[in-house]
Every structure is written in structure tokens, then in C-alpha cells.
Amino acid sequence: MSWDLILLIFSFIATMGLLAITIYQLICLSDLESDYINPFDSSSRINALVVKEFLVQGMLCAAFILTWHWFMFLLSAPITYYHLTLYMKRKHLIDVTEIFSLLNSEKKYRIVKLVLYLSLFAAATTSLVKTAVDLIIDDDDGFPGFETF
């Protein structure tokens, strides 16, 4: 099994996880806006996932740069840089007392992240399929089961 295939399987699974985390955070913010959940529960649920999301995104970005996948790295670098600056400024967690005043900006931020993760997911899926097909159909061997004339 090729290392590229292993990396792309990891990126596919990690990107699916990042998409799920972002959608869950959007649902929590929407429930808060509709008054189905109180601010403490909403912020504690979101804050429990923030650092995990940052770590997965950072590992994914580092894996892309170490394996010379430039396009995937350039897709994931802006959000990784933004996560790093938020973490360094200690503004990565949602404050319970200010959640209502920041609700619209937090939803927009997560929608932008969702779009970036969807584009990364599409690129990872395309690269995964291309790499798997290239490994199955090797130029030296031809397609297994068919003989060339």
C-alpha cells in the first residue's frame, strides 16, 4: 500500500470528522438562536470540540506539507493559520456571557469553515480515488485479468 494512499485515507476520514464537528457547532448555535438550548450548554458543547478540531486541522495541514501535497496544503493553510492565531490570542473558546452578542458572527465563521472543509473534502475524495485507481492500474502490469496484445 502506498504512503500516498494512507495519507489520503487519513485526510478523507479527518475531513469528514471536521465537517461533522462544524455541522454540530452550527446546530448548537442554531438551537441557541431558536431558544431550544441555554447559553451555558451551547457554549460548553462547542468549547469541548474546539481544541480537538484545531489539533486535527493542524495535523492534517502538517501531513500535507510533509508529503508535498501543495494544493491540499494551500486549501487547509488559511484556516489552520486562523486557528493558530485564535489560539495564541486565547479567543478560541466561546464565552457564555457574550454568546448572544457574537451569535451571528460565530455562525458566519462556522459557515465559512464549512465551505472550506467541503472544498477540502472534495479535493481529498478526488485525490483518494485518483491514487487508488493509479495503484490498481499500474502502467507496468496493465489491468489485472486482461492481457495486452
Q: What is the pLDDT of residue 67?
A: 86
CA atoms within 13 A on the CB side of 133: 6
CA atoms within 13 A on the CB side of 3: 6
- Please say whether the beta carbons of 115 and 19 come within 8 A: no
Q: What is the pLDDT of residue 149?
A: 44
Mean pLDDT per 10-residue segment, the chain (149 residues) = 84 96 96 92 95 96 91 93 95 91 93 95 93 79 53
Q: What is the pLDDT of residue 134?
A: 87
Give which of 129, 133, 124 is closest to 12, Cα–Cα: 124
Hey, which residues does 142 pair with through a beta bridge? 138
Q: What is the pLDDT of residue 143?
A: 54
pTM of the entire predicted model: 0.87
Cα–Cα distance, 21 to 28 (Å, whole number): 11
Domain boundaries, the chain: 3-136
